[in-house]
Structure 1
Amino acid sequence: MTSLIRRELKALWNDPWQFALVTYIPILGIISLWWLFSAGMPRQLPVAIVDHDQSQLSRMLARRIQANPAAEPIGYQDIASAKRAMTQGEVYALVVLPYRLKRDLLTGHSPTIEIRYNSQFLLVGKLLSSQIQLSLADGLLHVASKKQLALGVPKAQAEINLRPVTSQTTALYNSNSNYIGFLVPPVLLALGQLLAMLVFANSLNRELRLNTMSEWFSLGTRRVLFAKMLVYTPLILLQGRFILAILYQFLNLPLAGDFGLLLVAQVAMLLAVWLLVLVIFFLLQDCARVISFCTALFAPAFPFMGITFPTLDMPVLAQLWRKLMPSSHYIDTHVGVVSYGQGWDTLADQLINYWGFLFLIPVIIFLATRVKRAHLADQSLSPEGAK
């Protein structure tokens, strides 16, 4: 086994691309993502304001929106130009203040203030929608309070009439709405899984490129594959540990649980990734097709985690695809450990979710045996084999 590990390490050292995947490329990716999300929350997102009323009230509402740090209002003369700006990506939301807004409010009518946002930008759209509604509600509440006082209602009673029930919302997870703690870990996880797939697939494809499959089979298929796993599992796990150190030690993001739980869960996730890549490799036996198929399988990992979109609302096919994604099983452990401080007993229950990947082992054995027989048959039919 030692000679097989040395063989794999030598191949890693002689392959610049493979060496880059396990060394400096992950570091560059982590730094780039941290820089992109370093602001913590989106600020001053452009919002189109179409003011048909042009009253003191409508201008006050526009100022309320401008006072919100998440929005940067831009005035437009008509809805058509504002829609065009949203289509072209110049603004992310649109607020229409209707004609006779002030008069309708003062005369007891119910005017409609339109708030539209680009739902293609899921998080940005929801953030702007909620923040704009809060700003408008605060401004309209001020107007309603003045109206109550003008009717002779005492100030204390007016407050009760306008706010009969007060509520307080306390976030249990990501309480400061920091996008670094909310988005960066699952994004890094999705990229890390994709990187792990590329590393292991490149290691297998190298045998095809260099035509060393006969050497592979003579050394023993299981022993060679086990040596590859022994080499690359610690290297990828070291990258995962580095990511956790950056997030929860250097950036001091909240961590309620223990690092050890996350590392054990990462090992289970990597073993599941290796099994999926092996099935695809033995099934296709073509370098380009193996990478293409693996990339298509693992690329949608982030939306399948359920961080930004509820997975229960996905179609049945998408939910089945999610079950094939090892990162979808790992993310439950990650959120549980980071946010709720779950222990080893809960981790053991979550690791059972990987049991379905064990059915890939007999499939791999069958496909590997078929490939070996085909390779030996090709050798026997070759001119050198015939001689």
Structure 2
Amino acid sequence: MMSFRQLLQRELNALWHEPWQLALISYIPLIGIFSLWWLFNAGLPRELPVAIVDQDKSQLSRMLVRQLQANAVISPIHYQDVGSAKASMEKAETYAVVVLPFQLNRDLLTGHQPIIDIRYNAQYLLVGKLLSSQIQLSLADGLKHKALIKQLASGVPMAQAKVNINPVQTQISALYNANSNYIVFLLPPVLLALGQLLAMLVFANSLNRELRLNTLQEWFSLGTRRVLFAKILVYTPLIVLQGRLILTLLYQYLGLPLAGQFGQLLLAQVVMLLAVWLLVLTIFFLLQDSARVISFCTALFAPAFPFMGITFPTQEMPLLAQWWRLLMPSSHYIDTHVGVVSYGQSFSAFTQQIVSYWGFLFLIPIIVFLARKVKRDTQVVLSKTQCSEVN
């Protein structure tokens, strides 16, 4: 019987002799982290192409185009007709279309309500939302200026005219991410989704190696739980180290705002990883096929980012999607991450979030049952093989 130290050495040797596995815990995460940081390092999208169709060609419409051009987010591109503008958006050459209608200036002067057609590509969730708000803001500023001039021309005093245009003044004070920086908003959950996927691949590859080398019988003879504990003890610190690197990059090197402490985040990452290990183990013992295990796990964990609720309200998802979300450990972790990073939550709130993982404990008896079944099947196959060799 191997000692536990020898079991750890067995896993480390297996890791050292698996180039792909070694890559997953070394340079591949680094490439992924720095590639994503490079993609988001601008902080805010700027000069997004927007198709402009000016059917009025008046002084007012040209002024509105200048308002759009003055917005750092928008880069207007002129088109002669609506059809070509729509075609450019369908080809992803532009992300939105603004149609300034014919007789826009005359309708405003005569008291009518012209319709300015604004369309955006909702497939690009964040870009579409950003452009929609910025286009409306720029056009509103221009039209308010026109309305102010009209009221002054009709003899309304300046003070009263300003009240008429803005009867209610609002002030928006951001409690978190005051600069609307996309690194703060998007990069942490994207890296979390990538990290969860890599963690799944690492652990699944470690289990699949027993299938590829036909060492299941050796595994069972060494003690199923002891070998599993050795695998968990080897790979959990390595993946947590990757998580610590991500936190260091985001909140120390890049200096993103952090209201709480690293300790809660690291502990939450350990709990999340244990939940990932339980899911992978269940799928491994259930399917017992390397390719199918990887395929099924990838399909399960692939939609991690949208299920976090960062870009889309999860309450609006279909019931099946909400159940799927509950199976995703990252969906539980993201509540802790937002609470610690944004609000510096208390330890009692952190404890309640950790308790949300309780459902994963039901996987333990399932894993025990499946492991025993696989062990029996392996022993039966081995006995039949030995009998056939004797005959």
Out of 184, 194, 212, the position equivalent to 1:209 is 212
Q: For residue 296 of structure 1, what is the aligned residue in structure 2? A: 299
Q: Counterpart of 1:268?
A: 271
> Does the 8 A contact of 1:76 with 1:82 survive in 2?
yes
Distance 2:387 2:303 in 1: 46
Deviation, structure 1 residue 239 = 0.3
The aligned amino acid for 2:118 is I
1:354-365 to 2 correspondences below 5 Å: 354-365=357-368
Q: Is 1:94–2:97 an aligned residue pair? A: yes
How many Å apart are 1:345 and its aligned residue?
1.2
In structure 1, the residue corresponding to 2:36 is in which secondary structure? helix
| Amino acid of the structure 2 residue aligned with 1:16 | P
Deviation at 1:145, TM superposition (A): 0.4
Which position in structure 2 is the counterpart of 1:333?
336
Asked if the contact 1:379/1:385 (under 8 Å) is kept, the reply is no
Give the AA of the match of 1:168: Q
* Counterpart for residue 169 of structure 1: 172
Output the amino acid matched with 1:106: L
Q: Give the structure-1-normalised TM-score.
A: 0.99
Q: 2:87 aligns with which of 84, 88, 94?
A: 84
For residue 186 of structure 1, report the CA deviation from its aligned partner: 0.1
Instruction: After TM superposition, list the pairs within 5 Å mapping 1:119-134 onto structure 2.
Output: 119-134=122-137
Distance in 2 (alpha carbons) for counterparts of 1:86 and 1:190: 29
What amino acid is the match of 1:68?
Answer: N
1:247-267 C-alpha deviation (Å, 9 max, x unpaired): 000000000000000001001
| Pairing partner for 1:13 from 12, 16, 33 | 16
Q: Secondary structure at the match of 2:75?
A: strand
Give the distance between the partners of 2:112 and 2:227, measured in 1 at CA: 78
The whole-number CA distance in structure 2 between the counterparts of 1:383 and 1:240 is 47
8 Å CA contact 1:82, 1:94 repeated in 2:
yes
Whole-Å Cα distance in 1 between the matches of residues 174 and 288 of structure 2? 50
> Once the two structures are superposed, what CA deviation does each residue of 1:31-82 show, in whole Å capped at 9, x if it has no partner?
0000000100110000000111000000000010011000100011110111
Structure 2 spans left out of the alignment, 5+ residues: none
Question: Where does residue 203 of structure 2 map in the other structure?
Answer: 200
Superposed counterparts of 1:58-69, under 5 Å: 58-69=61-72
Deviations 1:164-198 (A, max 9, x none): 11111111221111010100000000000000000
Q: Percent identity?
A: 72
- 8 Å CA contact 1:279–1:360 kept in 2: the answer is yes
Give the SS at the match of 1:302.
helix
- Name the structure 2 match of 1:281: 284
| Native 8 Å contact 1:61 1:136 kept in 2 | yes
Corresponding residue SS for 2:303: helix
**Cα separation, 2, equivalents of 1:134 and 1:16:** 53
- Listed as ranges, the matches of 1:137-148 within 5 Å are 137-148=140-151
**What is the identity, as a one-letter code, of the residue corresponding to 1:220?**
G
Equivalent residues in 2 for 1:202-241, closer than 5 Å: 202-241=205-244
SS of corresponding position for 2:377: helix
Contact 1:380 1:386 in 2 (8 A): no
Q: Is structure 2 residue 314 aligned with structure 1 residue 311?
A: yes
Q: Secondary structure at the match of 1:96?
A: strand
Amino acid at match of 2:5: T
Cα deviation, 1:83-139, whole Å, max 9, x if unaligned, reads 111111110000000010000101111101011000000100000000000000000
Q: Counterpart in 1 of 2:29?
A: 26
* RMSD (Å) for aligned C-alpha atoms: 0.8
Letter in 1 for 2:295: S
Find the counterpart in structure 1 of residue 326 from structure 2: 323
Amino acid at match of 1:190: A
Match of 2:139 among 130, 136, 141: 136
Once residues 378 and 285 of structure 2 are traced to their aligned partners in structure 1, the CA distance between those partners, rounded to angstroms, is 12
1:202-222 Cα offsets, whole Å, 9 max, x none, are 000000001111110100000
- The one-letter amino acid paired with 1:280 is I
Q: Which AA in structure 2 matches 1:108? A: G
Which deviations, in whole Å up to 9, do the C-alpha atoms of 1:359-384 show, x marking residues without a partner? 00000000000000000000000046
CA distance in 2, matches of 1:385, 1:19: 39
Q: Distance in 1 between matches of 2:157 and 2:357?
A: 64
SS state at 2:78 partner? strand
Distance 2:379 2:239 in 1: 34
Deviation at 1:282, TM superposition (A): 0.2
Amino acid at match of 2:27: Y
- Native 8 Å contact 1:47 1:93 kept in 2: yes
Tell me, what secondary structure is at the counterpart of 1:371?
helix
Q: Which moved more, 1:187-196 or 1:343-352?
A: 343-352
SS in 2 for 1:257: coil
Rounded Cα–Cα distance in structure 1 between residues aligned with 2:347 and 2:155: 63
Instruction: Tell me the equivalent position of 1:377.
Output: 380
Instruction: Report deviation, 1:343.
Output: 2.1
Supply the AA of the counterpart residue of 1:121. Answer: Y
Partner of 2:156: 153
Moved runs in structure 1, 4+ residues, more than 6 A?
none
Work out the CA distance in 2 between the residues paired with 1:327 and 1:80: 43
Secondary structure in structure 2 of the residue aligned to 1:153: coil
Give matches, 1:241-252, under 5 Å.
241-252=244-255
Q: Tell which deviates more after alignment, 334-343 or 170-179.
A: 170-179
Matching residue's letter, 2:153: A
Secondary structure of the 1:382 match is helix
Secondary structure at the aligned position of 1:91 is classed as: coil
**Aligned equivalents of 1:22, 1:368: Cα separation in 2:** 27
